[in-house]
Amino acid sequence: MAGPFPEWIRRTWGSGSDFGVTRGILDGLQLHTVCQSARCPNIGECWRRRTATVMVLGNVCTRKCAFCSVRSARGGHPVAPPDLEEPGRVAEAARRLELRHAVVTSVTRDDLADGGSTHFASTIAAIRAANPGCTVEVLTPDFQGSRGSVETVMAAGPDVFGHNIETVERLYPVLRDAAHDYGRSLGVLRSAAAMAAALGGRTAVKSALMAGHGETPDEVRATLADLLEAGCAAVFIGQYLRPGQAEREVAEFVTPEQFDAYERMAYAMGYRFAVAGPFVRSSYRAEELLDTLKARD
């Protein structure tokens, strides 16, 4: 157990007119967000900036990881069939929020034959049709390793394809649902990177992992090496913060200095974009990734 929050882990809850506008648009369009379902500590900052990460395919996951507060079908919550009108509502939210970069994620849907990949593709298309010039980032589940599902998403042409490795290999049996597999997640990223290259390199591939579960710097380095080999151009590393009493306790609060070391490590290894810090999440200020990559090309 890590003990009380250190001074660098402090965030105020969201408020203000722009926060209220964001909430009103999302609630009015009946959209779920990972900001709410995962109890993200950045919700105040992001919603005040009128950005949010929309979570499609419902708010009930067919898996249950020890660190995640999203409701699970394993706990008896029912999953709903895909809402075919949802892609249009996501696109409308992007229009009303005047997003220049839209981020879409989902719960894991092992009950669906394609894992929800067709829904992702429809959402990408809807955002593009309603918001010319808006870039689109997806953060997908592992689709049970289906290359066909990854291809369905990639064929829709997302600007960024993300899939989170979440933690180091040793901790997978402790932190992740038994249906997850470290090697399979690397395979998803490898497939996406290969398809991106075949399509002209238009899509950047990224991943993210949490620190604070008892991993060592050497294990983080090994994970970064695995992600780089799989084709990731970008990596995000942040502090795990326990979202509720039902989730795993924090093992360690990683210092800002150690996060700086992880960021330098990633760049030294060859990543084109890396960010690490206590409040970093895979979709936190996500638009900076494309801006940085364009500036460096």
> What pLDDT does residue 254 have?
96
What do you get for the CA distance between the two ends of the chain, in Å? 44
* Arithmetic mean of pLDDT, 41-51: 72
Least confident of 2-11, 108-117, 171-180: 2-11
Q: How confident is the model at residue 18 (pLDDT cuts 50, 70, 90)?
A: confident
> What pLDDT does residue 297 have?
67
Nearest to 90 by CA among 43, 115, 35, 53: 53
pTM of this prediction exceeds 0.85: yes
Q: How confident is the model at residue 1 (pLDDT cuts 50, 70, 90)?
A: low
Domains in the chain, start-ordered, CATH in brackets? Answer: 17-296 (3.20.20.70)
Q: Is the pLDDT of residue 50 over 90?
A: no
Tens of pLDDT along 215-245? Answer: 999 999 999 999 999 999 999 999 999 988 8
* Arithmetic mean of pLDDT, 165-193: 97
Q: Is the pLDDT of residue 12 over 70?
A: no
Q: What is the DSSP string of 211-265?
A: E-SS--HHHHHHHHHHHHHHT-SEEEEEE----STTSPPP-----HHHHHHHHHH
Share of the chain above pLDDT 70, in %: 93
* Arithmetic mean of pLDDT, 148-174: 97
For the chain, the average pLDDT equals 91
Output the six-digit token pair for 290: 């494309």
